[in-house]
């Protein structure tokens, strides 16, 4: 009667079963930290009188949020991270040329079905797309995790997101998770695992499932998880070096609740300012004037996302009133997009291409919004001030909706383009 989340935590805690609500001490398979939290985590470890990480093969640091550094403070932080990585003899370290952490972690084989991973970034839940329990933690907890290889967890209840039916043309997984956010509310899944099930999910690519799991945190979720299948195994083939055993929920697993989504009749969705759960069908907000479009981030910076945008923009020109910023999530994505002619198509349409990084998403080093400006973004958060001025407005959508809107300078239904 256990869910995949319960089973993974039980296994890593050396228990036969893990009951929702109980506290368990579990072994960590892998831990990672972006630059913004890495130094804090290591200082926390040192304050615990621990000098070395529990396993230099299972800990890594990634410089992705502000890459390259934009000021002396960032440059100093990057320098400290590089020094820590050398002093700790970390087997892997990802510098400013590497891309977004949540993309390069799976690309480099650090995640696999059945594992327990922690990251000092809230969107660590992304990696549950591979049938793993992965969750974001604070710097102090990370200090304990990298120093001891163990961490306390409260076993979460699980909410099932049951999505059935094939998605219509230019309706994407981003629309599915935005609809789920609307139904659940921003705190509707606090400290719960979201388990994505149904034919809609089975038909999705690995990248699309990553988009779903990425935004589990936006409804308060502790983790987002998809059941591993042949698509999962194929993606990981040649990337993951160790053996792994997939874990699945029992047929009689107990769920806190079930959220149902009709994939066949789902419209493109848009999250309106200033909350991720303030979601409306695109037809309700069509015509809203925009100044900037962002296509990228750990939510929608993968090859398939860029391809959808290129399919819409190829041979066209973006509105003279809009600037489009596109940021591939990793060098692997960038090179594949370049080989496929996607980069050229986007640039010819008038888009600006940035180096793989977090970019516009959190207002770090690209595309800062001025007061009064409106952004349509494929990222995961639209809080006030997230991408620049606290007087700016950020809407969230899929890459298809973002690209279609870029053509006309107003939010546009991609099915009509």
What 3-state class would DSSP assign to 291?
coil
pLDDT tens string 255-268: 999 999 999 999 99
Task: Provide the percentage of residues in the chain whose pLDDT is more than 70.
Answer: 100
pLDDT tens string 95-134: 999 999 999 999 999 999 999 999 999 999 999 999 999 9
Tokens of 405: 């809107």
Q: How many helices (H) and strands (E) does the chain have?
A: 15, 17
- Rounded average pLDDT over 262-289: 97
| Confidence (pLDDT) at 36 | 86
pLDDT tier at 367 (50, 70, 90 boundaries)?
A: confident
CA–CA gap between residue 145 and residue 83 (Å, rounded): 20
pLDDT tens string 180-211: 999 999 999 999 999 999 999 999 999 999 99
List all residues 6 or more positions away from 87 whose beta carbon is below 8 Å from its beta carbon: none
Checking if the pLDDT of 364 tops 80, the result is no
| Confidence (pLDDT) at 312 | 97
- Rounded average pLDDT over 229-248: 96
17-23, long-range: CB within 8 Å, 24+ apart, which pairs? 18/155, 19/155, 20/155, 20/156, 20/157, 20/158, 21/154, 21/155, 21/157, 22/154, 22/155, 23/152, 23/153, 23/154, 23/155
Torsion of CA 138, 178, 385, 368, to 10 degrees: 110
Structural domains in the chain? 4-261 (3.30.499.10), 268-416 (3.30.499.10)
| Confidence (pLDDT) at 386 | 85
| Confidence (pLDDT) at 139 | 94
| Confidence (pLDDT) at 66 | 87
Checking if the pLDDT of 142 tops 80, the result is yes
pLDDT tens string 291-347: 999 999 989 999 999 999 999 999 999 999 999 999 999 999 999 999 999 999 999
């Amino acid at each position: 009667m256990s869910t995949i989340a319960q089973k993974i935590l039980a296994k890593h805690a050396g228990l036969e079963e893990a009951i929702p609500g109980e506290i368990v001490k579990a072994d960590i398979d892998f831990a990672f930290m972006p630059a913004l939290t890495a130094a804090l985590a290591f200082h926390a470890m040192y304050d615990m009188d621990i000098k070395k990480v529990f396993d230099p093969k299972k800990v890594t640091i990634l410089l992705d949020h502000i890459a390259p550094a934009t000021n002396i403070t960032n440059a100093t932080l990057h320098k400290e991270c590089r020094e820590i990585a050398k002093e700790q003899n970390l087997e892997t370290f990802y510098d400013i040329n590497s891309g977004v952490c949540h993309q390069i972690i799976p690309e480099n084989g650090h995640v696999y079905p059945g594992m327990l991973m922690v990251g000092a970034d809230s969107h660590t839940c992304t990696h549950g797309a591979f049938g793993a329990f992965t969750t974001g933690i604070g710097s102090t907890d990370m200090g304990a995790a990298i120093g001891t290889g163990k961490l306390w967890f409260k076993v979460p209840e699980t909410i099932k997101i049951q999505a059935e039916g094939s998605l219509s043309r230019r309706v994407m997984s981003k629309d599915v998770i935005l609809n789920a956010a609307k139904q659940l509310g921003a705190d509707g899944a606090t400290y719960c695992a979201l388990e994505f099930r149904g034919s809609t999910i089975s038909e999705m690519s690995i990248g699309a499932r990553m988009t779903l799991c990425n935004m589990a945190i936006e409804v308060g979720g502790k983790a987002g998880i998809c059941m591993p299948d042949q698509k999962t195994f194929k993606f990981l083939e040649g990337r993951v070096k160790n053996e792994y055993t997939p874990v699945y929920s029992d047929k009689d697993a107990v769920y806190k609740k079930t959220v149902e989504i009709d994939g066949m009749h789902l419209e493109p969705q848009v999250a309106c300012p200033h909350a991720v759960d303030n979601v409306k069908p695109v037809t309700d907000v069509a015509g809203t004037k925009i100044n900037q479009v962002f296509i990228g981030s750990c939510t929608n910076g993968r090859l398939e996302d860029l391809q959808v945008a290129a399919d819409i923009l190829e041979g066209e020109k973006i509105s003279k009133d809009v600037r489009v910023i596109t940021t591939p999530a990793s060098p692997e994505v960038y090179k594949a997009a370049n080989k496929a002619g996607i980069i050229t198509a986007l640039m010819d349409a008038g888009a600006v291409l940035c180096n793989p990084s977090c970019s516009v998403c959190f207002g770090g080093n690209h595309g800062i919004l001025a007061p009064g400006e409106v952004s349509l973004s494929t990222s995961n958060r639209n809080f006030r001030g997230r991408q620049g001025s606290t007087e700016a407005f950020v809407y969230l959508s899929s890459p298809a909706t973002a690209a279609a809107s870029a053509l006309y300078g107003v939010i546009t239904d991609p099915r009509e383009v």
